[in-house]
Amino acid sequence: MTNQPRTRIEVIGETPGHRATLGRMVVTYSLLSAGGGAISLISLSAVLAGSYGALIPLTLLLLVTGAACVQFITAALDLRATPIFTRGEVQRLWTKGGLLWFFRSHYVMVERKVFVMTPDVWVQLTEGNTVELHHWPHTRTLIRSVLISGELDDLVPGEPVSPPGEA
pLDDT at position 1, please?
Answer: 46
Nearest to 65 by CA among 41, 94, 99: 41
8 A C-beta contact, residue 145 and residue 110: no
pLDDT at position 23, please?
Answer: 94
Residue 25 has pLDDT above 70, yes or no: yes
Residue 10 has pLDDT above 90, yes or no: no
Share of the chain above pLDDT 70, in %: 91
Flag whether the pTM goes above 0.75.
yes
Over residues 44-70, mean pLDDT = 94
8 A C-beta contact, residue 81 and residue 138: yes
Establish how many alpha carbons lie within 13 A of residue 138's alpha carbon, considering only the half-sphere containing its beta carbon: 16
